[in-house]
Amino acid sequence: MERRNMTIQERKKAIPIPQVEAREPIPQQNLRIPGPTPVPPKILAEMARPMINHRGPEFAAIVRRVTARLQYFFQTSSPVLTYPASGTGGQESTIANLFSADDHVVVITIGSFGNRLVKIAEAYGLQVSRIEFPWGQAADPNIVEAKLKTLKPYRGVLMTHNETSTGVMNDVQTLVALVRQLASDTLIGVDAVSSLGCAPLEMDPWDIDVVFTGSQKGWMTPPGLMMIAASPRAWEASKSAKLPRFYFDWASSRKKLEIGQHPTTPPVSIFYALDVALDMMLAEGREAIFSRHERIGDYVRQRAKDMGLQL
């Protein structure tokens, strides 16, 4: 068939200019949603800095500062990897790097994001058992322990810390301890997307294998960055895990992290923001941050009860 170039008139006719809504100014909003959370003006201003070479020394210095301080907030000596992704990317990254097809995993779910862990695990061909609790309730450690005994053997146990969909927080320290008592080599992954940086969670002291979070929650930073850390046990498991992975491959990310880089193009502006946010968080102090969140949370819950609302 003979080919010819389209005329300008033909191109205009083929793909018309779209009619879109007018751009309106967006006023300052007092956000009361799970995330994204409000970003302080100081951090927003930092994001206006010019772009830099993400393979250059300036960005490498930012990466080193950010990851070292993230280790402190994770309470881990393991490297903290960062990915351009949402919290769901942390869920998928955990599953893809730890397991092989037909591995049996148990998911403790108390809401939407626990259920999402189930869906991702099933999508990757894992054998999934649920320990499910009603929305609005935390996992009961006694029930979890009894059910885990009937489900053995299993390769991994996954759970949410703060269930973003309901605001209910699991007693992760107790849950992890009982899993270790039943099967000490179990791989334990914790979704801390909406809790890390806001509430106590100690990765190494509590013997958790994988913890991940998202920039748009407790870090006073816009969406766009997922942060994840894996224990030595998890790193060893990842070497033999057979599930397919490329974007979220931990090994390639760790190799690049050693020279202050990413395998792919990172969100430079988000790194600018997180760098300053971590300065602010360290200045306030971990315990002070936790106390502030607890105090405000208690106040809001009490006022809701005073209005006759049921929690």
State whether residue 170 is helix, strand or coil.
coil
Pick from 166, 157, 160, 143: which is nearest to 185 by CA?
A: 157
Going by their DSSP bridges, the two strands 187-191 and 156-160 should be labelled as parallel
- Residues 131-157 have pLDDT tens digits of 999 999 999 999 999 999 999 999 999
DSSP readout, 202-242?
-TTTTT-SEEEEETTSTTS--S--EEEEE-HHHHHHHHH--
Q: Determine the topology of domain 73-272 in CATH.
A: Aspartate Aminotransferase; domain 2 (3.40.640)
Six-digit token string for 8: 């300008």
Contact call for residues 185 and 173 (beta carbons, < 8 A): no
Contact call for residues 197 and 281 (beta carbons, < 8 A): yes
Query: What's this model's pTM, rounded to 2 decimal places?
Result: 0.94
DSSP 8-state symbol, 258 = T
- Residues 13-72 have pLDDT tens digits of 778 888 999 999 999 898 889 899 999 999 999 999 999 999 999 999 999 999 999 999
- Residues 103-120 have pLDDT tens digits of 999 999 999 999 999 999
Q: Say how far apart CA 82 and CA 266 lie, in whole Å.
A: 9
